[in-house]
Structures are given as structure tokens and as C-alpha cells.
Structure 1
Amino acid sequence: MELLSKQPTLKLPEKMFTGDAWADVIYRGEEPSRARANVVRFAPGARTAWHSHGLGQTLYIVEGIALIQSRDGGILEAHPGDVVWTPPGEEHWHGAAPDRFMVHIALWETDDVAWLDHVTDAQYTGPRHSTRTP
């Protein structure tokens, strides 16, 4: 057993994020492990750029309302306790609703991430569907 030392919180770069977002590394496996886990905190309106993961990504929503969209799909409004999977190679973005902070745990394998264009305001404010039923 090993107690891992906590790394400093990272401000996430404008090249890959719109608005303010910070990450705390939970785990970054060393070969042969490929596991990655971060707690990511988004300010209201903050979001990732479009991107995809070579082996997919799982998001566990901890706090707030997450907005998640795949290319050519609708925006999913996810809530605390929801788990969202994006398969390998699927272009997507995720971030906070415009009126509240959002925290999720991101789980993925390897650093095979393709960062693409930023999400436009028109894409960000598109129609949503919620994981909660009325």
C-alpha cells in the first residue's frame, strides 16, 4: 500500500477550456496502468473545447448541473450522481450550466486525447434535455 502525495490544483488552459476550470489529480497510473482520474471544478459557464478520448471517458457528476454534448447530438443536462460515458473517439464537450458551479470526476485511460475547436456560444446555449423527469 502507498499513500500518494497530493499534487497542487491545476488551472486548466485557455487553449482547451472556455472560462475558469481547475483540476485536482486523483490518480495518474504509471505503466502498465493507463488509469487517469481527476476532480474538475468548473465556474458557471465554463466548458471544455470539443475533444475525444482514444479509449473513452466516464464522468461522475458530483455537484451542480453538467452540460454534456456529443457532435451532432443534443445537450444532456446531468445532475449529481449521474454517470455519463463517452465512447472511444466520440467528439464531445462538457462543462457547467451558466448559472452555477459544477464539479465532476473524470475517468479515462491514457493521454490519447484529441483537442479540437472551442465550443461556440450558440452550441453552448442550444436545446437541452435533462436526466431528471419533470
Structure 2
Amino acid sequence: MSRTALLLTAILASTEAGQAQERTKPMSITRKADLKTVDGPEQFFTGKATITGQFQREDPSRVSGAIVHFEPGARTAWHRHPAGQTLIVTEGIGWTQIEGGPKYEFYAGDILWCPKDKKHWHGATAHDAMTHIAIQESMNGTPVTWMG
């Protein structure tokens, strides 16, 4: 066998071994009882908001997310997402607005798409709490840019 053929055989064997190892990794499950809940930082939230189960996946993934609960009247500060953000509303009624646009109301079961690089906010209505699952991707190491 030629040296090139031996090298290709070694590379293929190594690649196949790596793929087999990846297939045998166990699935990762974080139990509800193990999820951490923190208060939404005052510089990024108005009113009472809590963030549960924040996660950031390992490279090469860029996905992160959390479950965010807003008490009535609570909302985020203005912010942007470099790759956009998906919000899956699980409870309550909320409001959202892109800078310069109308304020929209949304409900449990709705799915919102916040376009990339659009300055916006979201939160609960004045009289109803709201909870959503937030999913976004990082660009250049960050999933969000907060503004005043």
C-alpha cells in the first residue's frame, strides 16, 4: 500500500472513531429541580422579572436561552440580538415593540420572532403576568446588546 493510501486509511479510521464516540455520548438532561432561578438584573429589566434555566450550548453551537417570567408591568430594557430571537409564550399576556413601530399584544401559545439587530423590548402587560422561553444565537460571542 502506498504512503498516501496508508495516510488516507489512518485519517478515515480516526474520523470514523471520532464519529462513533460522538454517537455514544449520552444525552444531557437538566432536571427541573436543578434549574436555577435568578432575578432579572435591574439595569436590564423594569419591574419584577425572573430568569430560570439559562443555558449556553458548547461550540460549535451558538444557541442560548432561558425561561423568563414577568410580573404584571415588568418588561425588558431596549435591546438587540445580533442573530434575532425567538420567544415562545407559555403563559399570560405580553407586549412587544420594535423602536418606531406599534406596540403589539401577544398571548400564551404565540411564537414571536424578534428580527436581528432591531432595537426592541418585550414584557408583561400592566395587569397580566407573562412567561416565555427565549432562544437566541450568539454572534461574535454575544447573544444580546442592552441599551438604555
Name the TM-score class by shorter chain: 0.7 to 0.9
> Could you say if the C-alpha distance between residues 49 and 26 of structure 1 is closer, same or farther in structure 2, counting changes exceeding 3 Å?
closer
CA shift, 1:93, in A, is: 0.1
**Which residue in 2 is equivalent to 1:53?**
81
State whether structure 2 residue 126 is matched by structure 1 residue 98.
Answer: yes
Extract unaligned runs of 5+ from structure 1.
118-134
TM-score after normalising by structure 2: 0.75
Larger Rg: 2
Extract unaligned runs of 5+ from structure 2.
1-26
CA shift, 1:99, in A, is: 0.6
Does structure 1 retain, via aligned residues, the 8 Å contact 2:64–2:143?
no
Question: Which structure's relative contact order is higher, taking Cα pairs within 8 Å and 6+ residues apart?
Answer: 1
Root mean square deviation of aligned Cα: 1.3
**Which residue in 1 is equivalent to 2:145?**
114
TM-score after normalising by structure 1: 0.82
Aligned-pair identity in percent equals: 42
**Which residue in 2 is equivalent to 1:67?**
95
More strand by percentage? 1
1:52-92 superposed Cα distances (whole Å, 9 cap, x missing partner)? 00100011111111100000001110011111101110100
Does structure 1 retain, via aligned residues, the 8 Å contact 2:94–2:128?
no
